[in-house]
Structure 1
Amino acid sequence: MTKWAFVSDFDGTISKKDFYWLVIDAYFPEGRDLYPKWKSGEWKDIDFLAKVFASIHQSEKQIAEDILSIPIDEDVPDFVRAVQAAGGDFYILSAGTDYYIKPIVESRGLENVTVLSNKGVYRDRNIHLEIDPAHWTYSERYGIDKATVIKRLKEEYEVVYFAGDSEPDSHPAAFADRTYAKEALPEILTEKGVPYVPFERFNDIKADLIQEGILSK
């Protein structure tokens, strides 16, 4: 049996709303002025997120409630289980933080999902990123180097699928065996000449993998 894995970005791919937008909308309206500076490259991704996450000023209980309010693609739980039932391993690869990803995964009753993301801790009424520059996944811009992670997984698995939605996902997409892209990612990959399969929700990916004989109906 082929050893394979499915790797997905989280914010905007699995979730329907980026966690940083939840924070900006609820607690940090000044973040809207920082957003274009980040997108223009004036701010590194990790600096922008660190600033937003450190501007919540709420109790841990309130933040936990906010996290669990984030909507996700309704297809995801069944898709993850279908991947696992077919012998695949499921990974979440995010330049956000595991602080909010892991509780969402657990709340959906998903098991044996590996979350590879920046470490986050609650301190002083905010979320703080704890990033180790000596770690093999380290990226100065993103905190975690998604392309490096995919290349490492390619050493372990015969086939690695990837799904993403934005610029950071264009880097690992170049190394995955097949990339599923939505939102801003298709245009970026087209410009880079990286092949991809467009999707809107995870049932689209499931249908493609069923057609390929990877998943069962």
Structure 2
Amino acid sequence: MSNIKIFCDFDGTITNSDNIIAIMKQFAPPEWDAIKEDVLAQRVSIQEGVGKMFSLLPSDLKEEIISFILSHAKIREGFSEFVQFTKDHNLPLYIVSGGIDFFVHPLLGDQVKKEHIYCNESDFSKERIVIQWPHTCDDQCDNDCGCCKPTLIRTLAEKEDFTIMIGDSITDLQAAKMVDAVIARDFLIEKCEELNIPYKPFETFYDVRKHVEKLVEVTT
């Protein structure tokens, strides 16, 4: 089998909705919405925008926020079966997420190896929530990504690997530009069409599995 490596977004991809947006809608003051629009329009970087949004939230809301998101977030249909498929076929699956550790890890549970999960981290020790960025851009990326998916792909994939990106939003766009195959939904589809990036659409991970099975066939 060809050396396929799969990189998968979390918020809005593995989960049915974007967890950061859900948290902001529930807990943040109104000014968060203008920050979100600036991020989507690429007027401010993802790292700056997400950092600003969380700085609107008091740290003493920690338990309330965690309880809210763990009870409201839903995993997209077919994900656990897709994970098993990747294991059965020895296809490395990496979660590359602009999400935050306090909800990414508990929602994934033990389905994906911890060392294959890359996301941002949180600090609740100060008055306001501080987001930390352990996976920032390398010298080949100047997008101030926060969790830099292109950097992670360059680190984790070899030149001979066939790389697949699964995603849904602006945070996946730079990765979509560099991989061999893109599986997309929602806003990422709009950007792929705008920039003439080939992609396959999905709504569930049963769709994703079908696309990956075909890629396995053509790359074997």
TM-score tier after normalising by the smaller chain length: 0.7 to 0.9
**Which structure: greater strand fraction?**
1
**2:126 paired with 1:124:** yes
Give the secondary structure class of the aligned counterpart of 2:14: coil
What letter matches 1:5 in structure 2?
K
Aligned to 2:130, what secondary structure does the other structure show? Answer: strand
**Aligned-partner Cα distance in 2 for 1:90–1:153:** 11
TM-score by length of 2: 0.82
Deviations 1:85-128 (A, max 9, x none): 2111211112232332111111xx41425111222233236542
Corresponding position of 2:9 = 9
Q: Is the 8 A contact 2:76 2:204 kept in 1?
A: yes
Note the C-alpha offset of 1:13: 1.0
Q: Report the equivalent of 1:68.
A: 70
2:82 maps to 1:79? yes
Q: Conserved in 2, the CA contact under 8 Å of 1:4 and 1:87? A: no
Q: In the comparison of the two structures, how many residue pairs are matched?
A: 212
Quote the Cα distance in structure 1 between the aligned partners of 2:37 and 2:62.
29
Instruction: Name the counterpart of 1:91.
Output: 94
1-structure distance, mates of 2:67, 2:77: 19
Corresponding residue SS for 1:184: helix
Comparing 80-89 with 64-73, greater Cα deviation is found at: 64-73
Between 1:45-54 and 1:118-127, the stretch displaced more is: 118-127
Q: How much does 1:135 deviate?
A: 7.0
Identify unmatched segments of 5+ residues in structure 1. none
Whole-Å separation in 1 of the counterparts to 2:96 and 2:160: 16
Map residues 1-217 of structure 1 onto 2, 5 A cutoff: 1-30=1-30, 31-57=32-58, 58-69=60-71, 70-106=73-109, 109-112=110-113, 114-124=116-126, 126-131=128-133, 136=138, 141-155=144-158, 158-212=161-215
TM-score (norm 1): 0.83
What's the offset of the Cα at 1:21?
Answer: 1.5
Q: Partner amino acid for 1:116?
A: Y
Q: Where does structure 2 lack aligned partners over 5 or more consecutive residues? A: none
